[in-house]
Structure 1
Amino acid sequence: MDTDSSPHHDASPGKGLLVVDDHELLRLGLRTLVQSHAQANGQVVQVFEAHSLQDALTTFGDNAAAIQLVLLDLHLPDAHGLSGVEAFMAEFPEAHVAVLSGVSDPGLQREALALGARAYLTKSGDLAEVVRYITASHVIRIPHTAHQDTKAHDPEDDTGTPASAATSATSGRTVRTASGEWIPITARQAQVLDWILTGWSNRQIADHANLSEGTVKNHVSTLLLLLGARSRAQLISQLR
């Protein structure tokens, strides 16, 4: 991540987030991750979504007072590269815009910041880094004690073995990502995660939980995004 400065601390409580990306799965993953973090801290964060530049301009124009931060993908159906950043900043120069990109390119970073973006965030790594920037931008407000509680939820037993991810997901509703960070997940996500670790298929989970197979697939896809895994097999290996 590359930024021009630390995020401005001028957000008022209750302001939300606009995620601009044409990939529904990424929008879903970010929305779930952000709302899970907010819920863990007793807050509700509104997440707006847009799949194109024009959709983003309209959504922000209609809801500017409720949006603290805009996450703007560089590759949209109607904008490619920095043209989307340039167009957005031209229409809303005071907006707090952070670029989302699939590549880490120092030259592109410098140009994005020169156009008015506050940060350049890559999607190729763990989405937890994006959430850290969202938190630093005061979309999610984490009390000092919450940070201490999170650290306390990352214990090692007397033998030095990390606490079981499955146990943490079920009882504490936190789970360790591929990068080693502990994040909160919802009760339903924790259930689905435990069933995945048991080796159940989507159909078995759907039948057991009385859910549609499509809903289960969405939960599984979200968990893969949140925890930085590329497949169910990698997720199972990572958490065992």
Structure 2
Amino acid sequence: MLKVLVVDDQILIRAGLAALIRAAPGLEVVGEAATGEEAVRLAADTRPDVVLMDIRLPGISGITATERILAAGGEQAPKVLILTTFDLDEYVYNALRLGAGGFLLKDTPPERLLAAIHTVATGAVLLAPATTRRLVETFATPPATPPQLPALTARETEVLQMVGRALSNRQIADHLSVSEATVKTHLNRLMAKLGLSSRAQAVVLAYDCGLVKPRPSAAYG
């Protein structure tokens, strides 16, 4: 049974999300929060597996709440799934940079929301490739000269670059002619070396350090 904390300042939205999750098999709502401060407190008290986090909250923002929840949880921190109204939102980008596992628009169909909770809980990334690439490329500001990542091996750097290009483990494995298990090992090692808590964070870092270059905005039509 996956434990979920629902955070949204609008009571009707929060109640609707909670009711949807309670009715789904394998999911349990362990708390509901209307503010960032309340979310941080309830996350510590209830130790959820997934936090469904509204990005814009009264008091401290969903970004700050996400940062505090992840920091307080350490290796046992819950996965944070951001809810937002606009996909091209710098707040969402910053939440991914801090370690949120992914994001969904608030008009996401119920079945996709429930599937997303399960996906994020496993540690897998929840990033719609096209939308997330647009988001990261809009707000990433890579340096003119990519900094060195001395902690990483050449292969780990290559894997990080391909993760930044939104390739799946299967696609990376095919490209490198190795097994998916080997790719996962490289990914886990590079994330540990760089202090990353989510694959989404790795995508953002790949752009921030210049391993992946943003495409011209005209490419999006």
Q: What TM-score do you get using the length of structure 2 for normalisation?
A: 0.48
Q: What TM-score do you get using the length of structure 1 for normalisation?
A: 0.44
Larger CA Rg, structure 1 vs 2? 1
